[in-house]
Chains A and B, each alone.
Chain A
């Protein structure tokens, strides 16, 4: 599926989105039954860093979409995927706390 994303920023954003999703899911599963303070701190740091980087990526994607309007389709696909991480994060927070 990565072949679909021809722009480098989209490929980067998709890889980051998948990485956040997998790491977030793993942390959530761990936090559900290992209630250790250290893990909570790790999860919070991960959440803060990933939210900021994801936010910057989304901004860059919007800019890139405006500059390369011909590739709007793959840019929007990437944007939707990147933004989908936020509701998933909220759902995971709801599960853990």
Chain B
């Protein structure tokens, strides 16, 4: 099967599944189709299984809970898969970039290369293939002509022809299908950014050991950098120790902390942590950008760097503890979950900075590793239906949950809120208007779910088939 036939079939499936539809089961079906096509073409390019599974996983997650975050992540996984399909050895950040660019310009690049080729080298369609195309076009035209003729002669045949409904064909539908066709052509016949990939391959994770011994002017410069760096890091370490001591006092003081106090201590603490860590990482990257990595007298500076990293890890754990306390008292919110995500990323950043300094890695190592960690963490977080999880936790564990916050989340928690207000003794806690609003919200949610076509089905329709 040629690329164009596969692309036409793919585009028809694409428009059937997605035209005027929202995300749901269609995302999962299209992902399977894309993977099947890529698997069929595995002789030209091997299918990157390691990136196909995350792509399929995000599609399943979109089917389970189609939120904007999961849809964005699904697209990200798709672009990475395409990038890895084109160049399996490229860095993750570049794969994403190649994937995006390929989807936009692959056909144009191919066309441009074709035009710029000398006429003698251009690929020409074989005579057999031209005959096939001619045959299909002529047969199609004749089929229409004769069908119209026979329609007049036989009323049963006329009824059969009348049943063919082509009303779905419109200018927007044609454009949408064309878009699907271009998408599939670009997936199945991608372009190869050789120059970019060669440049990426040249960038090694390890720093190159200098081939010559350091000259006296370089040694002098390194000594002064070492002194400067030691003073800067020593003062940063001292300040951080002082901060941690005050933080311990704050954490273990007997006074109960107010809601505003929680917010201030966690959020402001995290923002300050963010800024200080970014600044200190910039200083470390500046100091360890080149020759200082190989300078024998850098031990003191390295020890100070490790000490600073260790102190920051303690700071991360303190902030984690504060966030736990905050959640224990007031429940989950997206912002508080964001703090966890940020702290995990900071921890990974600190570990990679340590590896960079300890095993003489370059800046590109930090970018490559941390982008992989971010992608992994996003994938992991996609497995949780956040709106429902936040609602469940807050309703089950918090004495007076913030109902108005929960009502501002996505409508997937409507059922949980509805069940919550219909448990005994809720009338005493909640206002009448809140009752009405929750019931109205639930009714709207059910109505939206009922209106969904099979392409838009989500896990809700599977869980509660009678209410679909």
Report which A residues bind B (CB closer than 8 A).
Answer: 1, 3-4, 29-30, 32-33, 69-70, 72-73, 76-77, 80-81
Contacts and interface: CB of A to CB of B under 8 A. Distances in A.
A77 B101 CA distance: 6
A11 B112 CA distance: 22
A contact face: mostly helix, strand, loop, or mixed:
helix
Nearest to A77: B101
B97 A72 contact: no
B199 A1 contact: yes
Contact of B97 (A3, A32, A70, A80): A80
A76 B274 contact: no
B112 to A, nearest CB: 6
Interface string B107-128: 0110010001000000000000
A4 B196 contact: yes
Contacts of A29: 271, 274-275, 278
B271 A72 contact: no
Nearest to B100: A80
A69 B105 CA distance: 11
Interface of B: 97, 100-101, 104-105, 108-109, 112, 116, 191, 193, 195-196, 199-200, 203, 268, 271-272, 274-275, 278
A73 B193 CA distance: 8
Contacts of B278: 29
Contacts of B112: 69-70, 72
22 contacts: A1-B200, A3-B199, A4-B195, A4-B196, A29-B275, A29-B278, A32-B271, A32-B275, A33-B268, A33-B272, A69-B112, A70-B112, A70-B116, A72-B108, A72-B109, A73-B101, A76-B104, A77-B101, A80-B97, A80-B100, A80-B101, A81-B97
Contacts of A80: 97, 100-101, 104
Contacts of A77: 97, 101, 196
- Of residues B97, B101, B272, which shows the largest number of chain A Cβ atoms within 10 Å of its Cβ? B101
Contacts of B109: 72-73
A80 B96 CA distance: 11
Given A4-B195, A73-B191, A77-B196, A32 B274 contact: yes
Contact of B105 (A3, A30, A73, A81): A73
Contacts of B203: 1
Contacts of A3: 199
Contacts of A32: 271, 274-275
Contacts of B97: 77, 80-81
B411 to A, nearest CB: 21
A76 B271 contact: no
A4 B196 CA distance: 6
B79 to A, nearest CB: 11
A84 to B, nearest CB: 9
Contact of A72 (B100, B105, B196, B200): B105
A90 B195 CA distance: 32
Nearest to B274: A29
A9 to B, nearest CB: 17
Contacts of B199: 1, 3-4
